[in-house]
Amino acid sequence: MKNNCPKCNGTGIVKEEDGSVHTCWDCLMSGDMDVHSDKVADSKIKI
């Protein structure tokens, strides 16, 4: 994830004013989130 992300400050999690939290879409779309990391692709290749 982006360490300088203005929305999540590099945490990958965005806190809304109502207290709810969700994945930072900016980091997700940029491909920096762990859920879409290269490790996932590697595991598929091994299978």
Distance in Å, CB of 26 to Zn ion, minimum:
5
Structural contact between residues 24 and 7, judged by C-beta atoms closer than 8 angstroms: yes
Considering beta carbons, is residue 29 or 42 the nearer one to Zn ion? Answer: 29
Structural contact between residues 7 and 14, judged by C-beta atoms closer than 8 angstroms: yes
Cα separation values, 33 from 15, 18, 44, Å: 17, 24, 18
Distance in Å, CB of 5 to Zn ion, minimum:
3
Interaction site with Zn ion (CB under 5 A): 5, 7-8, 24, 26-27
Considering beta carbons, is residue 6 or 43 the nearer one to Zn ion? Answer: 6
